[in-house]
Structure 1
Amino acid sequence: MSNAPCTVRRATAADVPAIAAVTDAAYRPYIARIGLVPQPMEADHAADVAAGRVYVTGEPDVIGLVVVEARPGHLFLDSIAVHPAAHGQGVGRGLLGFVDEHARGLGLPEVRLYTHVSMVENQRIYPRYGYEIVERRVDGPYDRIHYRKRLSAV
């Protein structure tokens, strides 16, 4: 799959158990490091799917997903999760590419996201895909680094 394009589709209600499982598998390792449950693990996956915010990849089994929300002036990437068994196969890269194209399709000039300061792996990944740090901010119990990616009008 690393050289194949990532096929992404809008999630359906039937995907909710897989979305929960992939999110749990992707974020569970961070609990001990950050000292609390990462917010995506506590999301209402069924409500996000019903709102049309979730896109998945993987057939027949979901192996990756993004949760996005169109906001004024940008697309917010609320969560990206790849099942650990699929790491290194280009799934995350494909999902990030999908997010860029989705934002462009909506006429939005940038993508924004944040990651917990203790998720150092993400801090190495996002700049490689064109994201720049905007700020570090504490939101409730979460110490986050906020990023943005300005999109070219392709």
Structure 2
Amino acid sequence: MSEIAFRRLDDGFDRWDALLDLILASFAYMNGRIDPPSSALALTSETLKAKAFSEIAYAALDGEQLVGCIFCRPELESLYVGKLAVLPTAQGKGIGKRLLALAETKARELGLKTLRLETRIELTDNHATFAAWGFRKTVENRHAGFDRTTSIEMRKAIT
């Protein structure tokens, strides 16, 4: 793997199909494991582009290959982190942590005190990874129509 470059997704970015493929490949391990299914399955290239322009999004590139992305949305006190994805073949190399560092920098610039994310209750490996990165479980949630916990919220204080 060469040096990873990070770029903000803007009007100059035109690889929406490849970005969608990256997200779907990164989230594929969840298929059949979480209920309800991931919202990533409902994304299209067009809705992904609209999401990138209505939120703050970054891509990680290894040369020309897209290897990761993160989408962030400012809230009242937090920067919400969603669709943090790293290509399975590129996982374990610090890309996710570096994408979160970009989110932390953006939160500071916006004067926000925390990063906030949600992860599915079944994905205990994700819980452990985010905890190792400084996130703490704050709330259990359930999707509409479910009588059990389906996700947890985790927050990381920005210092």
Shorter-chain TM-score category? 0.7 to 0.9
**2:37 partner letter:** V
1:51 aligned onto 2:54: yes
SS of 2:37 mapped into structure 1: coil
Aligned to 1:28: 28
**1:101 partner letter:** T
Deviates more, 1:13-22 or 1:117-126: 13-22
Deviates more, 1:12-21 or 1:73-82: 12-21
Aligned to 1:62: 66
Write out aligned runs for 1:1-150 (5 A).
7-12=5-10, 13-43=13-43, 44-58=47-61, 59-140=63-144, 143-150=150-157
Unaligned runs of 5+ in 1: none
Taking the aligned partners of 2:94 and 2:41, their CA distance within structure 1 comes to 23
**Preserved contact between residue 73 and residue 81 of structure 2 (Cα < 8 Å):** yes
- Structure 1 residue 108 displacement after superposition: 0.8
- Structure 1 residue 52 displacement after superposition: 4.4
Taking the aligned partners of 2:69 and 2:32, their CA distance within structure 1 comes to 23
Taking the aligned partners of 2:55 and 2:134, their CA distance within structure 1 comes to 26
SS of 1:69 mapped into structure 2: strand
**Preserved contact between residue 68 and residue 76 of structure 1 (Cα < 8 Å):** yes
CA RMSD of aligned residues (A): 1.9
**1:42 partner letter:** A
**Preserved contact between residue 59 and residue 68 of structure 2 (Cα < 8 Å):** yes
SS of 1:20 mapped into structure 2: helix
**2:153 partner letter:** H
- Structure 1 residue 36 displacement after superposition: 4.2
Taking the aligned partners of 1:38 and 1:128, their CA distance within structure 2 comes to 23
Change (3 A) 1:24 1:137: same
**Preserved contact between residue 120 and residue 152 of structure 2 (Cα < 8 Å):** yes
Unaligned runs of 5+ in 2: none
Deviates more, 1:69-78 or 1:35-44: 35-44
**1:116 partner letter:** R
Equivalent pairs: percent with the same residue? 23
**1:9 partner letter:** R
